[in-house]
Amino acid sequence: MAIVRLLFLYPHSLHRATLIAGACRAVKVFQEENYLANWIQALFNSLPPEDYVGKTLVLGGDGRYFNVEAAQIIIKVAAGNGVGKILVGRHGLLSTPAVSAIIRKRKASGGFVMSASHNPGGPDNDWGIKISEIKTADIPDVDLTALGVTSYDDFTVEVIDPVSDYLELMEDCILNGVPLEDFGDGHPDPNLTYAKELVFIMFGSRAPDFGAASDGDGDRNMILGKRFFVTPSDSVAMIAANAQAAIPYFQSGLKGLARSMPTSGAADRVAEKLNVPFFEVPTG
């Protein structure tokens, strides 16, 4: 069994970091000694052991600055707490929908998404994650650049392709799809201001019929048609209203619909019209 080391706790104000469905702060805050390890350990402390001991968890993120270093910390804390296996995207990459798809396909117990959502990335910007003493396993860093399985007694890390499982659900034509730690100095919030290149194409004389933009971790989006756009806060409602007819995965109908608290109430009306369960959830 891997040796477990106990790390000294610093009095970080972790309660102030957990503002949404996870933590989002400046990169420099997460780089403070043991700060991230504190947060991950606090999460494990809040869960019943049967939810993670010997179980499989998924780990990935949007490719922003600090993700690779954070992945190594999370892997060690998971191993120290008895997690059986970690599925981590190659180079630490996985979008939020991809994490969800992998959890369902591989029957994992849960997952970590390393992302500050639509906030800018880079050493002077933000980093985030969503989903006493710190227990970390005394194991080497994992090579996140190569696909494959690495075992440490009863703990296993599998580096997986960050796209292949999700590709079974989606096919995309992608603009600005090369992962960059600082998002090419661009802002990842998908709206008319920050997605100018896409807007120019969609309002041009040879505009295609459909366009869409998403943020770094793939859970915020904007939909455009030929020379018109859907208000970003209405996009979930637009997708839900047309899902059964237009998206093969939902051809049997939606099971339910959820939106974050500040999102447009249009989704509520779609859920009522489709007669499916509706949930309002925290932002994140």
* Residues marked as catalytic: 117
| 22-26 and 210-214 beta bridge pairing | unpaired
Q: Where are the alpha helices (DSSP H) in 203-281?
A: 235-246, 266-274
Q: Say how far apart CA 67 and CA 201 lie, in whole Å.
A: 32
Give the whole-angstrom CA distance, residue 37 versus residue 27.
Answer: 14
At what angle are helices 35-46 and 67-80 packed, to 10 degrees? Answer: 40
Rounded CA-CA distance 227/106 in Å is: 41
Q: How far is CA 208 from the centre of its chain?
A: 29
Residue 139 to residues 48, 76, 78, 142: CA-CA distances in angstroms?
Answer: 24, 7, 11, 9
Query: What number of other Cβ atoms are within 10 A of residue 14's Cβ?
Result: 14
Question: Rounded to whole angstroms, what are the CA distances from 43 to 16, 40, 194?
Answer: 14, 5, 34
CA atoms of 64 and 50, how far apart (whole Å): 32
